[in-house]
C-alpha cells in the first residue's frame, strides 16, 4: 500500500474526524475489523467507546447527538448487532436527534444466500414516516466512502433531524483507496417566509389567549434566548413539549410548565382554552397533545401556527392555520424581531396566571412512606451545578424530575435534559454515562428498578473509560407504570400478571461494576449520599427504597384501585 492509499475502513474513521466527531460508541464485531483498526490509527483524534450491548451503545450515540445537534455515531456488527441497536435508532427518529449508525455487513460475494447473520437493512430500518431511519445506504465502492459519510451527516442534520444507517460490506472495508474526506458538513438553515411572519403577527393581534409550545430538536443557546425575547415582547406564556423541558427557561416568569405525561390539569385546561397555539419545533405527537386531546386532529379547535424544520411534518397530522417551514435558529430569530403593539388584549395577566399555575403545581401532594420524593428532587436542585444533565429512561419514576426539577437549559447555554420522547426503557443509564464522557459535565440519572436493569451493565463501560454518573435508583419492586395501568383497567388482578420484580442487591451490583453504592430508606439520608457522590471521582448508585404505594406524583396504587373498583 502506497503512502497515498489506505484501507477503506481507515478512511471511514478519517471522515468522522473531518466531521468533528470526537467519540464513537459501539460493540466490536468481526465484520468491521478494518474500521476498528482505523480507530487505532486515529486514536489521538477520536475515541472508540466499547459498550457492553448494542442497545446501550446506540442510546449513548443518541444522547451525544442530542447534546451537540450533530450526529452521534454508533458502530455495530451485522444481524443481531444491528437489531439490538435498533432501539437507539428508533429513539433518534421519534426524538428528532441526528445520529449515524454504521453496520458491518457480510461480504459482497456472500449476499442473498442467508449468510451468517445476514439481514436486509433497507427493509428493517426502512425510511418512511413510520420507519426508523431517514436514509439507509450501502457503501460498495471504497472510493465513494467520503461521499456517503458526508451525505449521511447532512441528512441526519437537515430538515427534521434524525438517524441515518450506513451499511459496510466486510470486503469493501479492506480495499485500498486514495479517496480523502470531504469538508465538514453544516446544517442548512430554513428561514421563515416574511409573508408568513406578517400573517402570524396579524393572528397574534386578533388573539385573546395565545399560548406557545416549544420543543423538538435543533435548539441552541441562540434560538432559546431569541424565543425568550419573543415571548417577553408579546407577553406570551410558554410551555415546553414532552421531554424537551430545557427549551425555555423554567425559572422565567412566563414559563407555564411541561406539556406531556402527567400534565398539570390547570395547564391542560389553559391550552384547551387558548384561541391560538404557536407550536415552535415539536411535531405535536401523542404525548405532547395528551393523546391528541389538547389539540384535536385533523383541525384543532384553537387556531394553530406550526413551525417545524421539516416540510414533510407540517400538515401531516394537524392541518395548521399557518404552517412555517423553518429551523429553530432561524424561526426564533425571526420571531424576536416581530414587533408587538404597546397594548395587548391579554395584557400581562394571561402569562402571569399560567406561571402561577406552574408554581402551584410545584406544591406536592401528601403521599405515604418514609421517602419524600419532591424533597429529594429539591436537594438535586440545590446541590447540582447549573449545567448538570438530568437523564432518565421510561417509567413513572421519571415524573418526579419532570414535575419538580427546574431547568435553565439552552437559555443558559446547555442542553440539560436527556430523555426519550419515544419512551424507551433503559435509556437513562447509558445517556448519563455518554454525557459525562463527551462533555465532562455532571450527569444524574433517574432510574426505576426495572428500567435500570435494561442497561445497567453499561456501568462497566463507565468504569473502563473513567466516566462518572450518579444514578438515583428508585426501587419499588415492580414495573410501576404497567402496574398502575393494570390497577386502572383490571383492579386487584395483578398476581401472576408480570409486573412484580425480584431484584438483585443493587448496591452490591454497583460495586461489582466499579461504582460506589448506597441504599437509603429515609429522606434525611439522601443529602449526605448526594454530596458524597458529587465529591467522588467514580460514579455512584444511590438506591432509594420507595414505597410501592407511591405510584405517581399525585396518587397511590390503592387510590387508583379503589377508583377503578367503584366503576
Q: Which fold would CATH assign to domain 194-361?
A: Rossmann fold (3.40.50)
- Residue pair 292/269 in contact (Cβ under 8 Å)? The answer is no
- Identify the burial level of 35 via C-beta atoms within 10 angstroms of its C-beta, where 0-12 means exposed, 13-18 middle and 19 or more buried: buried
Taking the C-alpha atoms of residue 186 and residue 278, their distance in angstroms, rounded to an integer, is 28
Which residue has 440539560 as its cell numbers?
Answer: 416
The DSSP code sequence of 519-531 is EESSGGGHHHHHH
Contacts of 470 (CB under 8 A, 6+ apart): 432, 442, 443, 444, 445, 530, 533, 534, 539, 540, 542
- Identify the burial level of 44 via C-beta atoms within 10 angstroms of its C-beta, where 0-12 means exposed, 13-18 middle and 19 or more buried: exposed
Which residue has 383541525 as its cell numbers?
Answer: 299
Domains 194-361 and 373-566 share a fold: yes
Q: Using a cut of 0.85, tell me whether the model's pTM lies above it.
A: yes
Q: What is the pLDDT along the chain (567 residues), one digit of tens a residue?
A: 667 899 999 999 999 999 999 999 999 999 999 999 999 999 999 999 999 999 999 999 999 999 999 999 999 999 999 999 999 999 999 999 999 999 999 888 888 888 777 788 888 898 766 679 999 999 999 999 999 999 999 999 999 999 999 999 999 999 999 999 999 999 999 999 999 999 999 999 999 999 999 999 999 999 999 999 999 999 999 999 999 999 999 999 999 999 999 999 999 999 999 999 999 999 999 999 999 999 999 999 999 999 999 999 999 999 999 999 999 999 999 999 999 999 999 999 999 999 999 999 999 999 999 999 999 999 999 999 999 999 999 999 999 999 999 999 999 999 999 999 999 999 999 999 999 999 999 999 999 999 999 999 999 999 999 999 999 999 999 999 999 999 999 998 888 889 999 999 999 999 999 999 999 999 999 999 999 999 999 999 999 999 999 999 999 999 999 999 988
Q: Which fold would CATH assign to domain 373-566?
A: Rossmann fold (3.40.50)
Q: Dihedral sign for Cα 106, 6, 17, 36, please.
A: positive
Q: Which fold would CATH assign to domain 6-177?
A: Rossmann fold (3.40.50)
136-171 burial by CB neighbour count: b if 16+ within 10 A, else e?
A: bbbbeebeebbebbbbbbbbbbbbbbbbbbbbbbbb
- Residue pair 213/270 in contact (Cβ under 8 Å)? The answer is no
Beta strands in 224-329 (DSSP E): 238-241, 255-259, 276-280, 303-308, 322-325
Beta strands in 145-280 (DSSP E): 163-169, 176-177, 210-214, 238-241, 255-259, 276-280
Contacts of 508 (CB under 8 A, 6+ apart): 517
Taking the C-alpha atoms of residue 522 and residue 112, their distance in angstroms, rounded to an integer, is 60
Domain boundaries, the chain: 6-177, 194-361, 373-566
What is the bridge-based pairing of β-strands 6-7 and 176-177? antiparallel
Taking the C-alpha atoms of residue 215 and residue 184, their distance in angstroms, rounded to an integer, is 27
Contacts of 286 (CB under 8 A, 6+ apart): 292
- Identify the burial level of 109 via C-beta atoms within 10 angstroms of its C-beta, where 0-12 means exposed, 13-18 middle and 19 or more buried: exposed
What are the helix (H) ranges across 158-193? 170-173
Contacts of 158 (CB under 8 A, 6+ apart): 187, 188
Closest CA to 142 of 172, 99, 100, 106: 172
Neighbour count for residue 456 (Cβ, 10 Å) = 25
Residue 358 has φ and ψ, to the nearest 5°, of: -60, -50
The DSSP code sequence of 2-64 is -TT-EEHHHHHHHHHHHTT--EEEE---GGGHHHHHHHHHTTTT-EEEE-SSHHHHHHHHHHH
Amino acid at each position: 500500500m502506497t503512502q497515498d492509499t489506505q484501507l477503506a475502513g481507515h478512511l471511514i474513521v478519517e471522515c468522522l474526524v473531518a466531521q468533528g466527531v470526537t467519540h464513537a460508541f459501539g460493540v466490536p464485531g468481526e465484520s468491521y475489523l478494518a474500521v476498528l483498526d482505523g480507530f487505532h490509527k486515529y486514536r489521538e483524534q477520536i475515541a472508540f467507546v466499547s459498550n457492553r450491548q448494542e442497545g446501550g451503545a446506540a442510546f449513548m450515540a443518541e444522547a451525544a447527538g442530542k447534546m451537540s445537534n450533530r450526529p452521534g455515531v454508533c458502530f455495530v456488527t451485522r444481524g443481531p448487532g444491528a437489531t439490538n441497536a435498533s432501539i437507539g435508532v428508533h429513539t433518534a427518529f421519534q426524538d428528532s436527534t441526528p445520529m449515524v449508525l454504521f453496520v458491518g455487513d457480510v461480504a459482497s460475494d456472500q449476499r442473498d444466500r442467508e449468510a451468517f447473520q445476514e439481514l436486509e437493512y433497507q427493509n428493517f430500518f426502512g425510511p418512511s414516516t413510520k420507519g426508523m431511519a431517514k436514509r439507509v445506504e450501502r457503501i460498495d465502492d471504497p472510493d465513494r466512502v467520503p461521499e456517503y459519510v458526508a451525505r449521511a451527516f447532512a441528512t441526519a442534520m437537515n430538515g427534521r433531524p434524525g438517524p441515518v444507517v450506513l451499511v459496510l460490506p466486510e470486503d469493501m472495508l479492506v480495499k485500498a483507496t486514495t479517496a480523502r474526506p470531504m469538508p465538514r458538513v453544516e446544517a442548512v438553515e430554513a428561514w421563515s417566509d416574511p409573508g408568513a411572519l406578517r400573517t402570524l403577527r396579524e393572528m397574534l393581534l386578533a388573539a385573546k389567549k395565545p399560548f406557545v409550545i416549544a420543543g423538538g430538536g435543533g435548539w441552541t443557546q441562540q434560538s432559546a434566548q431569541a424565543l425568550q425575547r419573543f415571548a417577553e415582547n408579546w407577553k406570551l406564556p410558554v410551555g415546553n413539549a414532552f421531554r424537551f423541558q430545557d427549551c425555555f427557561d423554567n425559572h422565567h416568569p412566563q414559563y407555564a410548565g411541561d406539556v406531556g405525561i402527567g400534565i398539570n390539569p390547570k395547564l391542560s385546561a389553559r391550552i384547551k382554552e387558548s384561541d391560538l397555539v404557536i407550536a415552535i419545533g415539536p411535531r405535536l405527537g401523542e404525548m405532547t397533545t395528551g393523546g391528541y386531546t389538547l389539540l384535536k386532529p385533523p383541525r384543532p379547535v384553537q387556531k394553530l401556527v406550526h413551525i417545524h424544520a421539516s416540510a414533510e411534518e407540517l400538515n401531516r397530522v394537524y392541518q395548521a392555520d399557518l404552517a412555517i417551514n423553518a429551523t429553530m435558529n432561524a424561526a426564533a430569530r425571526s420571531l424576536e424581531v416581530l414587533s408587538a403593539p404597546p397594548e395587548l388584549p391579554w395584557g400581562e395577566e394571561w402569562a402571569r396566571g399560567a406561571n402561577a399555575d406552574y408554581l402551584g403545581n410545584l406544591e406536592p401532594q401528601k403521599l405515604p412512606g418514609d421517602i419524600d420524593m419532591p424533597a429529594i428532587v429539591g436537594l438535586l436542585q440545590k446541590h447540582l451545578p447549573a449545567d448538570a444533565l438530568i437523564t432518565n429512561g421510561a417509567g413513572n419514576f421519571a415524573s418526579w424530575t419532570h414535575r419538580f426539577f427546574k431547568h435553565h437549559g439552552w437559555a443558559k447555554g446547555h442542553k440539560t435534559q436527556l430523555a426519550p420522547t419515544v419512551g424507551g426503557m433503559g435509556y437513562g443509564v447509558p445517556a448519563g454515562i455518554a454525557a459525562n464522557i463527551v462533555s465532562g459535565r455532571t450527569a444524574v440519572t433517574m432510574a426505576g428498578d426495572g428500567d435500570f436493569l435494561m442497561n445497567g451493565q453499561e456501568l462497566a463501560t463507565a468504569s473502563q473509560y473513567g466516566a462518572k454518573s450518579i444514578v438515583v435508583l428508585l426501587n419499588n419492586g415492580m414495573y410501576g407504570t404497567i402496574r398502575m395501568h393494570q390497577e386502572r383497567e383490571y383492579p386487584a388482578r395483578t398476581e401472576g400478571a408480570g409486573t412484580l420484580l425480584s431484584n438483585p442487591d443493587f448496591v452490591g451490583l454497583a460495586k461489582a461494576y466499579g461504582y460506589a453504592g448506597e441504599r437509603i430508606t429515609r429522606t434525611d439520608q439522601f443529602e449526605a449520599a448526594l454530596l458524597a457522590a458529587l465529591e467522588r471521582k467514580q460514579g455512584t448508585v444511590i438506591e432509594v427504597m420507595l414505597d410501592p404505594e407511591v405510584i405517581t406524583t399525585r396518587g397511590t396504587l390503592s387510590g387508583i384501585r379503589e377508583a377503578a373498583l367503584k366503576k
